[in-house]
């Protein structure tokens, strides 16, 4: 064999090995895809909990199919899957301080979080309603146009005009209880809740009356 041809053969062999290695890695990654969420298991945990692991039924506070009737507890039906999962993970750390939810979230494993989040995302949210006609117009103005003099942006920019939010980025807030929305805005303002730098900044620029007005308008969105 011509010795001048050997370097060429060597380069071909190296190329074949590289392609083979890449294919092996790609195959391994393909096989490592996470399992899809099991909504049936999510429903079971949501409705019944898991006493052996210290998980209380979520439905006892958040209502059947995520439609809470307790105004200080959020409606979760129809909430974006990624957002619910993020909040449950945040409850396990220091970014979202809630003694009750922290206890339950820490008892959940990754599959629980994934399955419950998927189950809730598939549920239909029952509409809410504005209560105070005297302030709902102010809430509408803030939600749609913000407060220019305070550098408060329009809520609709992130949560969408109808309150549906943007999946994996911003939560659905349409029809949410007024009491819950006010509490969360207040928690962002005081630093009790700090898992959204954007909301911390915005809430600090809002008065109590402005928060109440926005919360009432949001409750009536569908």
| pLDDT, tens only, 13-36 | 544 444 444 444 444 455 556 689
Q: Indicate whether 142 belongs to any domain.
A: yes
pLDDT at residue 67, rounded to an integer: 98
Give the mean model confidence (pLDDT) for residues 68-72: 97
Q: Over the chain, what is the mean pLDDT?
A: 89
Q: Is residue 51 part of a domain?
A: yes
Could you tell me if 92 and 48 lie in one domain? yes
Residue 25 falls within a domain, yes or no?
no
Q: Which domain holds residue 109?
A: 39-121
Same domain, 64 and 43: yes
Domain finish residue from 121, 153, 178 = 121
Asked if the structure places residue 173 within a domain, the reply is yes
Say if CB 39 and CB 116 are below 8 A apart: no
CA terminus-to-terminus distance, the chain: 79
22 belongs to a structural domain: no
End residue of a domain, out of 121, 146, 176: 121
Q: What is the largest CA-CA distance in the chain?
A: 95
Give the list of residues 6+ apart from residue 42 with CB closer than 8 angstroms, or none.
Answer: 112, 114, 115, 116, 117, 118, 119, 120
- At which of 67, 91, 121 does a domain end? 121
Pair (92, 142) in one structural domain: no
What's the domain count of the chain? 2
Considering the entire predicted model, what is its pTM?
Answer: 0.84
Tens of pLDDT, residue by residue over 138-195, are 999 999 999 999 999 999 999 999 999 999 899 999 999 999 999 999 999 999 999 9
89 and 141 inside one domain: no
Flag whether 24 is in a domain: no
In a domain, 27, yes or no: no
């Amino acid at each position: 064999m011509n010795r001048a041809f050997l370097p060429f053969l060597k380069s071909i062999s190296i190329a074949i090995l590289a392609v083979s290695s890449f294919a092996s890695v790609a195959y391994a990654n393909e096989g490592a895809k996470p399992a899809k969420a099991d909504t049936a298991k999510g429903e079971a945990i949501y409705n019944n909990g898991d006493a052996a692991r210290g998980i209380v039924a979520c439905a006892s506070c958040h209502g059947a199919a995520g439609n809470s009737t307790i105004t200080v507890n959020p409606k979760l039906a129809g909430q974006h899957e990624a957002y619910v999962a993020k909040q449950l993970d945040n409850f396990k750390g220091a970014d979202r301080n809630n003694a009750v939810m922290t206890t339950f979230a820490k008892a959940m494993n990754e599959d629980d979080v994934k399955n419950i989040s998927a189950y809730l995302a598939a549920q239909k949210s029952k509409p809410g309603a504005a209560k105070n006609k005297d302030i709902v117009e102010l809430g509408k103005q803030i939600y749609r146009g913000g407060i220019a003099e305070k550098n408060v942006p329009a809520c609709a920019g992130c949560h969408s005009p109808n309150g549906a939010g943007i999946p994996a980025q911003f939560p659905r807030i349409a029809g949410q209880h007024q009491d819950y929305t006010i509490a969360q805005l207040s928690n962002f303002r005081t630093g009790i809740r700090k898992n959204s730098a954007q909301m911390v900044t915005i809430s600090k620029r809002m008065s109590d009356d402005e928060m109440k007005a926005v919360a009432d308008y949001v409750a009536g969105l569908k």
